Amino acid sequence: MINPWSSKQYFDYEKLKKDFGIENTDNFFNHYLFTRKLIFGQRSISYIEFAIKNKMPFNAVTGLMPSGEMHLGNKITIDQMMYFQSLGARVTIAVADLESYATRGISFEKARNIAINNYIVNYISMGLKPCNIYFQSENYDMQKTAYVLSNETNMSELKAIYGLEDSSSILHVNAPIIQASDVLHVQLGKYGGPAPTIVPVGVDQDPHIRLMRDLAQRYRIYNVKKENTGISVYIRGKNDPHEFIDRAVEILSKNLYKTEINYEYRSIKISNSAPEDDIKIDIILANLEKDFNDMTFIGPSATFQKLETGLKGGKMSSSVPDSLISLNDDPKEAERKIKNAVTGGKKTIEEQKQFGGNPDICPVFELYAYHNPDNEYVTRVYDECKGGARMCGSCKAEAAENISKFLKDLKEKRDESMTKINDYLMNKSL
């Protein structure tokens, strides 16, 4: 079982993919996080690819916990958000101030200051363009949607997914529903209606993704399924299916699909469909359904990213300040942390030259792999380490210089970025 509230670091990504049905990524996305397999898996990303190929609207959604500092380990998510934004995504970011208040006692005012000064200003300085950033405590649409979503799950399901017990707090019951609402409510009519939605996460968040995908499907009237004989559509609910079927047949016919109707079994068989038509048909019917079902959602897609290793090994943790580099760190302090990091090198220079190092387990090499888009440069660093031509001391110094430059650039942009905050916040009162 994956626990989204655990501090455990996951390393056996292949086993996780096998155990939880996470699929491999393909070669559609030309971004170094994908090509280097730092994004190691996905759920239903074909919906996003379809939207991009067909120039259709799609969403990219993430959140931030307003406690502590934004660090390099958080940066990979925003790198993805900026990439998807460049491909046309409507970006939404939730500030989880309800959760930070409930779990950490952080006041809403303090959470707002942390979110703006430690996170959002850095997002803007990194290059994120104007988007919708909201605070959970201020978003009535999200709160209302969470309340309604709670009607479609129960304690038995949450116990199975999260390992909750009778003694678990109600907060642990509410938190997954709120996160589902953070993602799904952006498909409400006032935000553009149902559309494919991508959510970049670490694998520890997969239980949330699975739950929100199930919830989205439970509210659909039209359920599209691939079958051996082709694609079929089933009508959910107890109401007379005639009207739903007739409206679906009309819109499908306009899209040149031939249909076979069975009112008794509440189904439509599409006789001339190909297996790959399921996404197109699902989106067509979602946009029909939104006219008579306010809770029409397309199940969200997800990318799963490998967690960047802390500079001291293991997970980055604010309780171990030298394990991470904050984006607000002084560049000199960041250099010190990097130069004191553990490595995948050998014990002596002689052994390093003879046998080479192991960049695959080296937190310092990850500073290159996760944060430098130059494939040729990163490959050279990797090969030099493996071949024994690169020593850990000089490699740390080079990595420290690169990260220091990045932090200096951010710092120079931060004041200007602060003047743009209102272009991003849904509630404009800074």
**In whole angstroms, how far apart are CA 318 and each of 70, 120, 311, 322?**
10, 19, 12, 9
Q: In this structure, which long-range contacts are made by residues 390-396, counting pairs with CB atoms below 8 Å and at least 24 apart in sequence? A: 390/357, 391/345, 391/349, 391/352, 392/343, 392/345, 392/352, 392/357, 392/364, 395/343, 395/364, 395/365, 396/338, 396/339, 396/341, 396/343, 396/364
Q: How far apart are CA 178 and CA 180, in angstroms?
A: 5
pLDDT tens column, 249-278:
999 999 999 999 999 999 999 999 888 899
| 196-201-206-208 Cα dihedral, nearest 10 degrees | -70
**Beta-sheet pairing, 90-95 with 301-305:** unpaired
Structure tokens at 55: 């120039």
Orientation angle between helical segments 170-184 and 206-218, nearest 10 degrees: 70
Asked whether 211 and 176 are in contact (CB, 8 A), the reply is: yes
Per DSSP, what are the bridge partners of residue 259? 270
How many CB atoms are closer than 10 A to CB 237? 11
DSSP for 138-188 reads G-HHHHHHHHHHGGG--HHHHHHHH---TTS-HHHHHHHHHHHHHHHGGGS
Q: Structure pTM? A: 0.93
Q: How far apart are CA 389 and CA 366, in angstroms?
A: 18
**In whole angstroms, how far apart are CA 219 and each of 158, 190, 212?**
18, 18, 11
Q: How far apart are CA 111 and CA 104, in angstroms?
A: 10
State residue 19's pLDDT score. Answer: 86
**In whole angstroms, how far apart are CA 267 and each of 250, 281, 292, 373?**
14, 14, 19, 49
Q: How far apart are CA 67 and CA 47, in angstroms?
A: 33
Q: How far apart are CA 188 and CA 139, in angstroms?
A: 13
pLDDT tens column, 29-88:
999 999 999 999 999 999 999 999 999 999 999 999 999 899 999 999 999 999 999 999
Q: How far apart are CA 169 and CA 162, in angstroms?
A: 13
Q: Where are the alpha helices (DSSP H) in 27-71?
A: 32-35, 46-53
Residues 6 or more apart whose CB falls under 8 angstroms from that of 410 comprise 122, 125, 126, 327
For residue 301, give the DSSP letter: E
pLDDT tens column, 141-155:
999 999 999 999 999
Taking alpha carbons only, the member of 264, 277, 195, 196 closest to residue 232 is 277
Structure tokens at 328: 């607000």
pLDDT (tens place) for every residue of the chain, 430 residues total: 444 434 345 568 888 888 889 999 999 999 999 999 999 999 999 999 999 999 999 999 999 999 989 999 999 999 999 999 999 999 999 999 999 998 899 999 999 999 999 999 999 999 999 999 999 999 999 999 999 999 999 999 999 988 888 888 888 888 999 999 999 999 999 999 999 999 999 988 999 999 999 999 999 999 999 988 789 999 998 889 999 999 999 999 999 999 999 999 999 999 998 888 999 999 999 999 999 999 999 999 999 999 999 999 988 888 888 999 999 999 999 999 999 999 999 999 999 999 999 999 999 999 999 999 999 999 999 999 999 999 999 999 999 999 999 999 999 999 999 999 999 998 654 4
Structure tokens at 213: 């995908």
How many CB atoms are closer than 10 A to CB 217? 15
State residue 5's pLDDT score. Answer: 35
Q: How far apart are CA 260 and CA 267, in angstroms?
A: 8
